[in-house]
Every structure is written in structure tokens, then in C-alpha cells.
Amino acid sequence: MGAGPFRACRHRYRSCFSWEAGSYKTVSRPAAGGTGGRHSICDHADIPTPMRQKTLRAVIFGPPGSGKGTQGRLLAQKFHVPFIGSGELFRSEIEQQTELGKLARVYVDSGCLAPDDLVNGIVSRQMKSLNLKNGFVLDGYPRTVDQAAFFQRLMPVNVAILIKVSDEIALNRLKKRRKKEKRSDDLAETIRTRIRSYHFLTEPLAQFYRQKGVLLMIKGDQSVEYVHEVLVKKLAKLGFVP
């Protein structure tokens, strides 16, 4: 045979080929049974195949002020998938005046957190009504480990993105938002309450998704553009390519 990278089996070995440093190298392995014979070079070839592109089914979470909503929208645009906010799901259910929607309005009007069963029921109804065959980015749900466990049974996510920022950065960002947008829910004490609530209820999602093998953490203390760029690169390494 010519002097190329592929060499024929002439002894009791199979020639296998692996990709290394831009070229194939020959790795000899004992052939199964007896002396030589003609063997296909593909029988035991360790030739890489392109990574299969994954469908992005993501949840994104982090403390208030982390920029998760902004990053979620940018990511959805990049991957051409729907961006779904839990607030939108609730509003849709309330507008449809379903039994769940009427009950949800009571909690919304009172300012109290809705129980997991109610939240899960609304999310289940609304998500099933959407065309999500190409994937999605979900923000604002789940907020608790029980909700996450329910949703993982309903519609398993394959990446859970945690945007991490310190409490100090979160507080400063939300104060600036208050001044710019005059948001009533961003008063100083309300902000601190929201941050404490996040640490107690939502932060444990990190351990839940870590155990599922789908957690992706990223620092959110840089510019919006920089965080987005890093996030897209990290997703690409996991096989998520726009």
C-alpha cells in the first residue's frame, strides 16, 4: 500500500486510526482471532464525528438584579427560540379567566406568593399550549426545588443557567433601576427582601440542577455584551450552537 497515513494489517493486529494534532495516526490493536486477514479500517476506527447539535431547553435564574431577564432574551434571540417569562404565563391564565387564573388573581392582588401546586398547574397548562419543538428559554420559573422537580418531569431542561452576582451588585443595580424606571417594587427594603427570598427559596436550585448534570454557572458582574458572549461560548462547548 502507498505511503499514506493508512497502513494495512499484515500481522495479528488491526490498524485503527485516531485524530491527533491535525492528522491521523495509526494505533495497532490485536485482531480478534488468528493471523491477520483483510480488515476494514473502519472496524475499530476512533475517528471523531461532528457533535450533534442540541436543542436548547433552558431555564435561567439568579438573584434580582443579576440581569437574567436581559440575558435570557438575548439568548432566545440568538438561538431563535421563544423567551418565556413566568409573569407572562400567569397573566395569560388570568386573562383567560380559567379556574386557575381566578385563583392566581387572588394571590397577585394580595401580593402573596402562590403555592407550588397552583404555579405548577398554570405553567403546565400554558407551556403545553406553546410550540416549543425547537426549544425555549424560561425565566422566573422554577423558583423552588419542588417546582424544579415537577418541571423536570413535565418538560426536562437540558441546561440550567445560573447568573451569579453579589448581593451588593444586585442592590446597586436595582437602586439604579428604581431611579431610572421609578419601579415601586425596587424600594430599598423591598429589594433586600427579594434578595433574601432568593437565597432561601431559589438559590437551592443550583444544587438540584448540579445533581442533574445540567447546571451552567456564569458571572454576571460584567457588561451585558460580555456576559452574553461568554454564555454563548460556554453553551457552544456543551453542544448548543445557534
What is the pLDDT, as a whole number, of residue 184? 61
Q: Which residues pair with 139 in a beta bridge?
A: 60, 85
Res 48: pLDDT: 43
pLDDT at 112: 83
> What does the pLDDT look like over 157-191, one tens digit per residue?
999 999 999 999 998 888 888 777 766 655 777 88
Cα→Cα distances 126→69, 105, 119, 146, Å: 19, 16, 11, 19
- Structure confidence at residue 52 (pLDDT): 63
User: What is the amino acid identity at position 207?
Assistant: Q
pLDDT in tens, the chain (242 residues): 444 443 334 333 333 333 333 433 444 444 444 444 444 333 344 434 445 679 999 999 999 999 999 999 999 999 999 999 999 999 999 999 999 999 999 988 887 889 999 999 999 999 999 999 999 999 999 999 999 999 999 999 999 999 999 999 998 888 888 777 766 655 777 888 889 999 999 999 999 999 999 999 999 999 999 999 999 999 999 999 98
pLDDT given for residue 178 in this prediction? 76
Query: How do beta strands 57-61 and 159-164 pair?
Result: parallel
The type of residue at 7 is: R
**Cβ-based neighbour number of residue 198 at 10 Å:** 20
Position 183 scores a pLDDT of 63
- What is the reported pLDDT for 23? 39
Domains of the chain: 1-47 (no CATH), 57-85+133-237 (3.40.50.300)
